[in-house]
Amino acid sequence: MDFIAAIPWREVGEASLDTLLMLGVSMAFTLLLGLPLGVLLFLTGKRCLIERVAFYNALSFVVNVLRSVPFIILLIVMMPLTEILVGTSLGVPGSIPPLVVGAVPFFARLVETALREIDRGIIEATQAMGATTWQIVTRALIPEALPGIVAAVTVTAIALVSYTAMSGIIGGGGLGDLAVRYGYHRNQSDVMAITVVLLLVLVQALQTFGDKLVLHFTRR
Amino acid sequence: MSAILEFQKVSKSYRVAKRRVPALCDIDLGVEAGEVFGIVGRSGAGKSTLLRLINRLERPDDGRILVDGHDVSQLDDTALRALRQKIGMIFQHFNLLSSRTVAQNIAFPLRISGELGDDEIRERVAALIDRVGLKEHARKYPAQLSGGQKQRVGIARALSTRPRLLLCDEATSALDPRTTQSMLHLLNEINEELKLTIVLITHEMNVIRSLCDRVAVLDEGRVVETGAVADVFLHPRHSVSRRFVHESEDVDEDLLNTAFDRVDGRLFRLTARGDTTYEPLLSGVARECGVDFCIVSGHVARIKNVPYSQIVLGMKGERVETALERFSSKGVTVEALR
Ligand SMILES: Nc1ncnc2c1ncn2[C@@H]1O[C@H](COP(=O)(O)OP(=O)(O)OP(=O)(O)O)[C@@H](O)[C@H]1O
Ligand SMILES: [Mg+2]
């Protein structure tokens, strides 16, 4: 009983909500920016609809650079930019920009890969119908790659969960922040354990839900 | 009749590892409105390339391709899309959208062109589904269909914009013989009902024989022979055409030549077409002219819907020439082989 009483439940609840908020907002921005970027990577790639090798290589390089920076370093490097963008580098708002910048290249690559899985014949058939590139993307490519894109969203969301926990270390709020403050600074390992369990539950839920959606959209 | 499609001195090469590899050389072809035009050739002969030039999925290096008199390479993007919307295309591997149902796949070209409203689309799709015999399958996804059913969807989809020209890239090559026959039958009906011009490519002479009016034989990027299917089939002039015909008839050229060597006397090839095929000419002429004959090889079949027979006879007797004249006068084509 002492054990349960000693846990700052209110704070655990608030931290959980913060994590969900960070996850939701950053995932939304990641989708908004990463999907077009992934499509652009796919379209401009070799032997693709609007092949632009130089452009593709440049874009691909930028994506690779961002992906190769460890997230914890990205957090620190981005602080000035984050302050310009949202006015603070702390708390939930302060953690959104680095989360998005960390996740977008990752997600875009996954989208590109999912699009590459589509049979070239389908693209060709759609072209032969007289579709515009926009129609090919929105009516053929994305619907055909939807299971792959949903799987990419799942993987990205889970990566974001661990990123949010990391951003807690530099005062980003959420469960990671809680774990650092109680588990590390005050040595309350029970709080640490609870945050870990909550994060685990979140990851499990995301994966299960994602898998269900993938299955739902798979017609092959 | 007027040419709906024309190739004028068309050449096309591909760039592979910084080198130009020719795929088509100096192609001249004309396809008349309403006919079924076949292009036959071995793997790598350039058939797909030829077909893809028509709706500019590929661009020629040289020469002109005219569809309805308009040079395809001169079209701007909008005109090109309009042209593509009026050219149907079906594929060896069907290329259906796996995320859409049968009905949605068939409606797809109409949704893209945006020329019809929802109700009209629904009506037209329903009629097409009926036409290709897929009524029970309208709500299924492609993965739930057999190969033959998928190709029927492909055909219905290609017809949905009411094109005047249908391009078929090996449309039956992934299907078993029986399904192939039913597909050829369907294409034939569509050609007749809709007066639709069909250009099809295949490596099987039998597809040409059951469906086409005219044929071009393609070999290593060149047209080596072109003509009415009956002419090319019964009297192939080029060795590549001859080999295709022999293959389709399961004739082994070497064995045939050995057989010829063993026959005493002269050798003639007799070809009868149409009703003549079923007339009892051989025995009658032989009796009248007092000649003896043996049949060395023979074939009776149909080209499109016209029956024909082609036999090689070894003949002996005093009045062989008279017998030959008699055959000719009855409408049988006689060729002396030896
Ligand atoms: N995209 C391409 N890049 C490079 N070479 C190509 C390309 N497409 C075709 N070729 C080459 O052009 C030639 C003709 O190819 P094409 O696909 O037109 O032949 P095909 O007659 O359709 O053969 P198949 O019966 O195997 O389909 C071949 O030598 C092929 O290797
Ligand atoms: Mg081919």
Residues of B within an 8 Å Cβ radius of A: 55, 57, 80-85, 87, 89, 91, 93, 95-100, 108-109, 111-113, 141-143, 161
Q: How far does the centroid of ligand 1 lie from the alpha carbon of residue B12, in Å?
A: 11
Buried (b) or exposed (e) across B227-243, using 16+ Cβ within 10 A? bebbebbbbbeeebbbb
Q: Is B278 in the pocket of ligand 1 (CB under 6 A)?
A: no
* Segment A85-102, tens digit of pLDDT: 988 888 888 899 999 999
Question: Hey, are the CB atoms on B57 and A127 less than 8 Å from each other?
Answer: yes
Residue B241: the pLDDT is 93
**List of residues 6+ apart from B329 with CB closer than 8 A:** none
Nearest alpha-carbon partner for B162 in B119, B193, B202: B193
Q: HSE on the CB side for B79, CA within 13 Å?
A: 8
**List of residues 6+ apart from B13 with CB closer than 8 A:** B20, B21, B22, B23, B24, B61
* Segment A58-74, tens digit of pLDDT: 999 999 999 999 998 99
Mean pLDDT value of segment B267-280: 91
* Segment B301-315, tens digit of pLDDT: 889 888 999 999 999
Indicate which atom in ligand 1 lies nearest the CA of residue B221: 14
Nearest alpha-carbon partner for A170 in A95, A96, A65: A95
Q: In B, which residues are within 8 Å of A219 by CB distance? A: 98-99, 141-143
Residue B318, pLDDT > 90, answer no
Q: What percent of chain B has pLDDT over 90?
A: 77
Among all chains, which residue has been given the structure tokens 């072809």?
B29
Q: In A, which residues are within 8 Å of B108 by CB distance? A: 126, 129, 139
Residue A88: the pLDDT is 86
Residue B266, pLDDT > 60, answer yes
* Segment B55-96, tens digit of pLDDT: 999 999 999 999 999 999 999 999 999 999 999 999 999 999
Where does the pLDDT of residue A5 fall: very low under 50, low under 70, confident under 90, or very high at 90 and above?
Answer: low
* Segment B158-202, tens digit of pLDDT: 999 999 999 999 999 888 989 999 999 999 999 999 999 999 999
Alpha-carbon gap: B87 to the closest alpha carbon of chain A (Å): 8
Could you give the C-alpha distances from B260 to B155, B210, B254, B270, B314, in angstroms and in order? Answer: 46, 29, 10, 15, 8
Alpha-carbon gap: B206 to the closest alpha carbon of chain A (Å): 26
Where does the pLDDT of residue B116 fall: very low under 50, low under 70, confident under 90, or very high at 90 and above?
Answer: very high
Residue B97, pLDDT > 80, answer yes
Nearest alpha-carbon partner for A49 in A107, A108, A150, A127: A127
Residue A1, pLDDT > 80, answer no
Alpha-carbon gap: B293 to the closest alpha carbon of chain A (Å): 55
Question: Chain B interface, mutation test: which of A129, A136, A149, most B Cβ atoms within 10 Å?
Answer: A129
Where does the pLDDT of residue A189 fall: very low under 50, low under 70, confident under 90, or very high at 90 and above?
Answer: confident
ipTM for the whole predicted complex goes beyond 0.90: no
Residue A172, pLDDT > 90, answer no
Residue A56: the pLDDT is 96
Alpha helices, H only, chain A: 2-5, 9-44, 53-68, 71-77, 79-86, 91-116, 120-128, 133-135, 142-167, 174-178, 189-217
Q: How far apart are CA A156 and CA B17, in angstroms?
A: 37
With beta carbons less than 8 A apart as the criterion, state whether B328 and B289 touch. Answer: no
In chain A, where are the structural domains located?
A: 2-217
* Segment A175-185, tens digit of pLDDT: 888 888 888 88
Residue A29, pLDDT > 90, answer yes
Q: In B, which residues are within 8 Å of A131 by CB distance? A: 81, 112
Could you give the C-alpha distances from A107 to A29, A100, B45, B289, in angstroms and in order? Answer: 11, 10, 42, 87
SS3 B32: strand
Q: Please give the class, per CATH, of domain A2-217.
A: mainly alpha
Q: How far apart are CA B140 and CA B187, in angstroms?
A: 23
Look at strands B36-41 and B62-67 and give their pairing: unpaired
Which homologous superfamily is B3-247 in? Answer: P-loop containing nucleotide triphosphate hydrolases (3.40.50.300)
Residue B1, pLDDT > 70, answer no
Which homologous superfamily is B251-336 in? Answer: ACT domain (3.30.70.260)
B134 phi and psi angles, rounded to 5 deg: -120, 25
CATH 3.30.70.260 residue ranges of chain B are 251-336
Please name the member of A121, A124, A130 whose beta carbon is closest to the beta carbon of B112. A130
Q: How far apart are CA B268 and CA B261, in angstroms?
A: 13
